[in-house]
Structure 1
Amino acid sequence: MDYQSNKNNSGILLLDKPKGISSNCTLQHVKKIFCAKKVGYTGSLDPLATGILPILFGPATKFSKYLTNSIKKYHVIAQLGVMTTTGDLSGSILQNRSVHTTDLHISSILKSFVGTIEQIPPMFSAIKYYGVPLYKYARLGIVLPLKKREVIIYKLNFIKYINNFLEFTVSCSKGTYVRSLVQDIGRRLKCGAHVVFLRRIKVGPYHSSQLVELSNLYFVENKNINQIYRFYLSGMLRTFLLPVSSMFLKYPVIKLFHEDIKNFQKNTSIPLLKMYKTGLVRVITGINSIFLGIGIITKLGILIPKCVLIS
């Protein structure tokens, strides 16, 4: 199914990843539904996890690093006293321990993780070792000497603790593994722990209230729909996409006119006539406010294109 109407899709789909399938499997479903040739996602979610999986189409894919590097927020439920091979429900139980703790003790332990911490990535993850995902080694029973990585925990809010189940939210940097965090919390509590519920509720400027469910997209795959109606449906699909500029609404704005627009699109630096604060800016056309891309302003008042949208 190759519909001409979908070949120019560009934008961001904030998909609510279903539980039980991988991020890549989810992507392939979406790619088929949209008949998209160029599509990718940022920030893998475990099969157990649900929530925001940003999927980028067409020229939007070149801006993926800005979402990859953004702060993520998760809603987590962990079971204390039980350790598994994977750090979540999908693994086999390694050990059961008794739990002796209080809300006050847990709250204190959670606070100790806020800031820059070191993590060892889980063996059951998509990180590659000599080009092979770690989970493939793990399935063969091979344990590799993984290096610790620095990540940042910005906020860790205790919600409740009932019958050995701990509920909290965490805001963290890219590269943070919630499974590793939960396992470390369990070790600090001297009882072990694993993830039983994980939902990503915020990525950069986006939050869970903006999500589109995969089931809302499936209607277009109905092979009995005639081509005229299918063309109409493909147009409806594009309404689910957010513009690339939605990533950068909190950035300062620079308006360009005439030759400066052409120079920016050619990745040519532009001397600005008036002074602006240094740093990243959202660049738009001065007349109709069309998003052109992201630039950075230097101390010398020069606008340097960083990522240009050419659809």
Structure 2
Amino acid sequence: MATPTDPRERRPRTVFRRLDGILLLDKPQGLSSNQALQRVRHLFRAEKGGHTGSLDPLATGLLPVCFGEATKIAGGLLGARKAYETVARLGITTDTDDAEGQALRERPVPVLTIDAIDAALRRLTGRIRQRPPIYSALKRGGEPLYAKARRGETIAVEEREVEVHAFDLLSAADLLDGGEPLLRLNVECGSGTYVRSLVRDLGELLGCGAHVAELRRLWVDPFRDPRMWTLDGLEQLREHAGERVLDACLLPIEAGMASWPEVRVNAVQAQRLGRGQGLRGPYPPRGRQVAILDEQGRGLGLGEVDAEGGLRPVRLFRWAAVAGAAEARADAPRCP
């Protein structure tokens, strides 16, 4: 008698390929960022992939995914400015500071006015000190804090300084109409800021506690007006239109380099950089990391301009040296 097999065992093994580009994924609720990354990496059959900043399983919205050589700029995108829309549920605090956690304390919600809410929001705007959630991907001793928290370990998380560019009330209709004590909020913030912590601290300023009920990331610099793709949409494209059409959903690496100052180099200079050699310059801006492009606007990688204006390579794409050498040979004078 045949033994039933796990359906997953019958799936064909993914044959990965070299693929470079950036996918603006609309992450669905219920998946971790890494789970979403692995889904699209297998869907595109990309050998190498990484995402540029985690979203909680509760959260939806923009998750830039870098394939291939684009992973070399992913670290720079991690520190980019981001925007969110969130719904705060007043009156209940949880151990994760969002709706997926266990309730810790419930308190009555006082009578609140728009002016009182706005005043509390202003106190959480600008350069502020923030304590990250215990359940977070921050690492201590090489292990994420959430792993320690799940084991019941006592964790003291230190405050750190973050930048909140905007924290605004979009709607308090439910609360003011006597319905659910919900606030819909807009957040624009810099790297390392936790929206869950902002909502938790807002609840304390309002005297009743709060947690994140909904969270959606709207944009990440330099993708201010993103055309996002859902997992379902990508899977349908793959099934009905094929891999070439699926690949057309990717942005070129250059689209992710727009946040860095730009430096253009000719073929001979590109060849020198590709060999790991620096260029004297002077190149602006001094003391900054820059995007290096060739004369046609193709990205070659990231570099750094020193205090004297010299340019040195930091992380170049695999084609930088080859392209530079080929162009230099093509431009070389030939014997008649």
TM norm structure 1: 0.89
Equivalent in 160, 172, 181 of residue 198 of structure 2: 181
Query: How many correspondences in the alignment?
Result: 299
Helix, strand or coil at the partner of 1:212: coil
Structure 1 CA distance for aligned equivalents of residues 169 and 275 of structure 2:
49
Q: Which residue identity is paired with 1:46? A: D
Q: Tell me the equivalent position of 1:307.
A: 315
Equivalent in 245, 249, 253 of residue 244 of structure 1: 253
Q: Tell me the equivalent position of 1:290.
A: 298
Equivalent in 72, 93, 101 of residue 62 of structure 1: 72
* 1:253 and 2:262 are equivalent in the alignment: yes
Larger C-alpha radius of gyration, 1 or 2?
2
Structure 1 CA distance for aligned equivalents of residues 138 and 130 of structure 2:
13
Structure 2: gaps spanning 5 or more residues: 1-12, 176-180, 320-336
Q: Tell me the equivalent position of 2:332.
A: none
1:249-288 matches, cutoff 5 A: 249=258, 251-272=260-281, 276-278=284-286, 279-286=288-295, 288=296
Go from structure 1 to structure 2 and tell me whether the alpha carbon gap of 1:221 and 1:241 turns closer, same or farther (over 3 Å shift). Answer: closer
Query: Is the 2:83–2:186 contact (alpha carbons within 8 Å) kept by the matching residues of 1?
Result: yes
Go from structure 1 to structure 2 and tell me whether the alpha carbon gap of 1:140 and 1:298 turns closer, same or farther (over 3 Å shift). Answer: closer
Q: Tell me the equivalent position of 2:143.
A: 132
Structure 2 CA distance for aligned equivalents of residues 133 and 12 of structure 1:
27
Q: Considering Cα pairs closer than 8 Å and 6+ residues apart, tell me whether 1 or 2 has the greater RCO.
A: 1
Helix, strand or coil at the partner of 2:41: helix
Q: Which residue identity is paired with 2:158? A: K
Helix, strand or coil at the partner of 2:42: helix
TM norm structure 2: 0.82
Go from structure 1 to structure 2 and tell me whether the alpha carbon gap of 1:182 and 1:275 turns closer, same or farther (over 3 Å shift). Answer: closer
* Partner deviation per Cα, 1:18-45 (whole Å, 9 max, x = no partner): 0011111111111211122211111111
CA displacement at 1:292 relative to structure 2: 1.1
Helix, strand or coil at the partner of 2:172: strand
Comparing 92-101 with 56-65, greater Cα deviation is found at: 92-101
Structure 2 CA distance for aligned equivalents of residues 275 and 14 of structure 1:
32
Structure 1 CA distance for aligned equivalents of residues 25 and 132 of structure 2:
25
Go from structure 1 to structure 2 and tell me whether the alpha carbon gap of 1:173 and 1:236 turns closer, same or farther (over 3 Å shift). Answer: same
Q: Which runs of 4+ in 1 moved over 6 A?
A: none
Structure 2 CA distance for aligned equivalents of residues 218 and 133 of structure 1:
31
Go from structure 1 to structure 2 and tell me whether the alpha carbon gap of 1:159 and 1:7 turns closer, same or farther (over 3 Å shift). Answer: same
Go from structure 1 to structure 2 and tell me whether the alpha carbon gap of 1:208 and 1:45 turns closer, same or farther (over 3 Å shift). Answer: farther
**What value does the CA root-mean-square deviation take over the aligned residues?**
2.1
Helix, strand or coil at the partner of 1:99: coil
Comparing 125-134 with 73-82, greater Cα deviation is found at: 125-134
Structure 2 CA distance for aligned equivalents of residues 118 and 267 of structure 1:
41
CA displacement at 1:91 relative to structure 2: 1.6
CA displacement at 1:251 relative to structure 2: 4.4
* Partner deviation per Cα, 1:149-174 (whole Å, 9 max, x = no partner): 22111221221213121111111121
Equivalent in 51, 59, 66 of residue 49 of structure 1: 59
Q: Tell me the equivalent position of 1:110.
A: 121
1:22-33 matches, cutoff 5 A: 22-33=32-43
* % identity of equivalent residues: 36
Structure 1 CA distance for aligned equivalents of residues 237 and 43 of structure 2:
6
Q: Tell me the equivalent position of 2:97.
A: 87
CA displacement at 1:271 relative to structure 2: 1.7
Query: Which structure features the higher share of strand residues?
Result: 1
Structure 1 CA distance for aligned equivalents of residues 113 and 274 of structure 2:
58
Go from structure 1 to structure 2 and tell me whether the alpha carbon gap of 1:145 and 1:254 turns closer, same or farther (over 3 Å shift). Answer: closer
Q: Tell me the equivalent position of 1:157.
A: 168
Helix, strand or coil at the partner of 1:217: helix
CA displacement at 1:80 relative to structure 2: 1.0
CA displacement at 1:60 relative to structure 2: 0.9
Q: Tell me the equivalent position of 2:3.
A: none
Q: Tell me the equivalent position of 2:235.
A: 218
CA displacement at 1:289 relative to structure 2: 2.5
Q: Tell me the equivalent position of 1:192.
A: 209
Structure 1: gaps spanning 5 or more residues: 223-228
Equivalent in 128, 147, 153 of residue 142 of structure 1: 153
Go from structure 1 to structure 2 and tell me whether the alpha carbon gap of 1:300 and 1:85 turns closer, same or farther (over 3 Å shift). Answer: closer
Structure 2 CA distance for aligned equivalents of residues 143 and 299 of structure 1:
46
Q: Which residue identity is paired with 2:126? A: G
Comparing 276-285 with 156-165, greater Cα deviation is found at: 276-285
